[in-house]
Amino acid sequence: MASFEFFAPCPRGLEEALAAELAELGRLAPVSVGKQVPGGVHFAGPWAAGMAANLHSRIASRVLLRVAQQGYRSEQDIYEFALRQRWEEWFGYQQTLRVDVTGIKAPVRSLEFITLRIKDAVCDRLREKTGARPNIDTSEPDVRVFAFLTATDATLYLDTSGEALFKRGWRLDKGAAPLRENLAAGILRLAGWRTDTAADMVLYDPMCGSGTFLAEAAQIALGVPAGAGRRFGFEKLKGYDITAWQTLKVQAAEAQRDARVRGVPSTIFGSDISGDMLVKARANLERAGVGDIGLKQVDARDMSPPVDRPGIIVANPPYGERIEVRGRRGPRDGRDGRDDDERYSPEVQGNRGGFQRNQPDGVDAEFFRAFGDALKQRFTGWSAYLLTADMSLPGQMRLRESRRTPLYNGALECRLFRFDLIAGSVRKRGDSESKGEDSAPQA
């Protein structure tokens, strides 16, 4: 059986979690997990391994098939290297093409120029072998070629995913600042939420927005394949293993059928202050096949445990200018009968200068202090996992984290703070709020 080299990019910080997830695919196809590099994991196996990763990985952003690797000295070397590859064995001139290039310390004039040269090489090759050049389509191409350049080597990849894998096919409405599905899934894994553990755990997202954590958590608990609701780029390529794909699809359909019979676990809960967001979350959850999740409109400061046994809280609270904390209290809170959406819409409130970070007397500090108090007072025995780019969050919440994990939300450097809400974890009033900020990041 032919073996291929694959590379799966993922959000930075989730490489180890992705490697573990890929190793678990061994139950479906022979997979040999290789090196982890910042932002991805190498693996090898037959076509079935690459297809299973596309269908089942919740953490990978894509699955790339390695075509060839070679040293280079000049831009012409890269053109000739790309020209030598047998692209015609994978696709024809009738299919549209897109080329993307990334590089680290690559001694080239510009990556844009290399992108053009590789595109020329692929098109020249197809014209020579098949009589015509493919058209370029940068928005919805049939085929994507990726190149990765280091200071000395060029590697060419054929994309097997098509649209990025975090696009599961169920998101209708994004809301203001949705979390990428693969980052949410990675966080759930770091929090110990896996197919074999989820049945016994309680999960609550008190700022659930469009419902990303909830949809991922429910699908994981039910064993629904991440990509069950979408198509993949390899389905447009010539050489993939159709028989193995049929087998994987039948297994996926069976898993979905079993999931429908079992129904969504009654241990997953979400709330948000915004009724609009909850409408969006409900639509998304229904499309993801997990519409039975309990949702409630609650200000996170007033939250209480949804069941009488401890579990985990996962959330990415509002941060920075992307989205603001709503439902502010204090002197500005007139409780005038308007709902929070209206009261804090820009038209009503005017420009409030965005989100103020780490200002103990500011309104946002008040939110995080009150949110921290709610955790301390009502969630004893729970663990909370909060993703934020605000490194001062533990200080603002007056809670000491038991772990901080660096993660990237796109280009935004974040931390996943874990708080174990046991007696004694509560930071005393007046205690230095910088303690949490000063502790060294743990990988």
Ligand X SMILES: C[S@@+](CC[C@H](N)C(=O)[O-])C[C@H]1O[C@@H](n2cnc3c(N)ncnc32)[C@H](O)[C@@H]1O
Task: Give first-to-last CA distance, the chain, whole Å.
Answer: 38
Burial of 151-170, coded b for 16+ CB within 10 Å and e otherwise, reads eeebbbbbbbbbeebbbbeb
Is residue 218 a contact point for ligand X (CB under 6 A)? no
Site string for ligand X, 279-308 (x = CB under 6 A): --------------------xx--------
User: Which of 393, 443, 419, 407 lies closest to 180 in space, CA to CA?
Assistant: 407
Of 72 and 368, the one with the shorter C-beta distance to ligand X is 368
How many residues touch ligand X under the rule CB under 6 A: the total is 23
Q: How far is CA 351 from the centre of its chain?
A: 31
DSSP symbols for 260-284: HHH---TTEEEEES-HHHHHHHHHH
What are the CA-CA distances from residue 37 to residues 19, 78, 128, 153, 409 (Å)? 11, 23, 37, 16, 17
Site string for ligand X, 192-211 (x = CB under 6 A): --------------xx-xx-
Of 159 and 299, the one with the shorter C-beta distance to ligand X is 299
Is residue 273 a contact point for ligand X (CB under 6 A)? yes
Please give the Cα distance from 73 to 153 (Å, whole number).
Answer: 9
- Phi then psi for residue 133, to 5 deg, are -95, 145
Of 28 and 384, the one with the shorter C-beta distance to ligand X is 384
Helix or strand holding residue 366 (H, E): helix 363-378
Determine the interface stretch with ligand X among 22-30, 153-161, 250-258, 273-281 (rule: CB under 6 A).
273-281
Contact pick of 316, 396, 405, 409 for ligand X (by CB under 6 A):
316
Burial of 180-190, coded b for 16+ CB within 10 Å and e otherwise, reads bbbbbbbbbbb
Nearest distance from residue 44's CB to ligand X, in Å?
A: 33
Contact pick of 318, 372, 395, 436 for ligand X (by CB under 6 A):
318
Please give the Cα distance from 175 to 277 (Å, whole number).
Answer: 7
Determine the interface stretch with ligand X among 27-35, 114-122, 219-227, 266-274 (rule: CB under 6 A).
266-274
Largest distance between two CA atoms of the chain = 76
Nearest distance from residue 184's CB to ligand X, in Å?
A: 7
Of 86 and 338, the one with the shorter C-beta distance to ligand X is 338
Q: Name the residue with the smallest CB distance to ligand X.
A: 209
Nearest distance from residue 361's CB to ligand X, in Å?
A: 18
Of 21 and 216, the one with the shorter C-beta distance to ligand X is 216
Nearest distance from residue 314's CB to ligand X, in Å?
A: 9
Is residue 277 a contact point for ligand X (CB under 6 A)? yes
Q: Rule CB under 6 A: which of 322-381 touch ligand X?
A: 323, 325-327, 367
- Residue 300 corresponds to which amino acid? A
Structure tokens at 363: 């309104």
Q: Rule CB under 6 A: which of 161-180 touch ligand X?
A: 175, 177-179
Interface residue list for ligand X (CB under 6 A): 175, 177-179, 206-207, 209-210, 212-213, 272-274, 277, 299-300, 316, 318, 323, 325-327, 367
